[in-house]
Chain A
Amino acid sequence: AQSVSQHNHHVILSEAASLELGCNYSYGGTVNLFWYVQYPGQHLQLLLKYFSGDPLVKGIKGFEAEFIKSKFSFNLRKPSVQWSDTAEYFCAAENTGNQFYFGTGTSLTVIP
């Protein structure tokens, strides 16, 4: 069955630390990949997306993600986190049938 796995359930970092959140998907065909973020008390919103082309995609607020096809991965990175990055992060994959699969989310807490 198709799925998206996020291996880090809870991450706690100090401000200015670097961030990498793992995401793996299980689907052999062409996929579109997304990272969504949910800040406390707010709606889910799109951070970045990958459809094709350059496997390194840049999103809002200094986030980026790298698509590695051979590893079925789409990890999210940020060189230096801020307290305002405290949120829940969801990785998602869309298959060729336009069905979306979300990971279970990673809760990030940034300590000032």
Chain B
Amino acid sequence: KAGVTQTPRYLIKTRGQQVTLSCSPISGHRSVSWYQQTPGQGLQFLFEYFSETQRNKGNFPGRFSGRQFSNSRSEMNVSTLELGDSALYLCASSLRSGSYEQYFGPGTRLTVT
């Protein structure tokens, strides 16, 4: 069965712009989580969506938002981009929320200039 897919794989934006990243989970998975990965901070949890509802949120500013659609696909939006938002954004899907194995996608590499 197909894995988690993320689009686009690479993105270059300038400060002040906004960006939308997309994640398609494994078929049948209803939970999607987003992480920001940077060399110094490792993986930091952004938020989790389950059945179109945000279940959990990490410690990120309100510029980071997301949503989930009825087919479990999820989008993440970052508004007013800052240089520090440059990172690899990973999406992970799991069957249900909490304590289930997460399957990670390849990530979207965002560079903010």
Neighbouring A residues of B97 by C-beta, 8 Å: 98
Q: Give the A-B pair count, Cβ closer than 8 A.
A: 49
Neighbouring B residues of A46 by C-beta, 8 Å: 101-102
Q: Which of A14-22, A66-74, A78-86, A101-109 contacts B (4 or more CB under 8 A)?
A: A101-109
With CB as the reference atom, state the residue of chain A lying closest to B58.
Answer: A99
Interface residues on B, range: 20 to 34
With CB as the reference atom, state the residue of chain A lying closest to B55.
Answer: A98
In the bound complex, how far is the Cα of B90 from the Cα of A92, in angstroms?
15
Count of chain A residues near B, Cβ 8 A? 20
In the bound complex, how far is the Cα of B54 from the Cα of A99, in angstroms?
12
Cross-chain pairs A/B with CB under 8 angstroms, 26 sampled: A36-B104, A43-B3, A43-B103, A43-B104, A43-B107, A44-B90, A44-B104, A45-B103, A45-B104, A46-B101, A46-B102, A51-B99, A90-B43, A92-B43, A98-B48, A98-B55, A98-B97, A98-B99, A100-B33, A100-B35, A100-B102, A101-B45, A102-B42, A102-B43, A104-B41, A104-B42
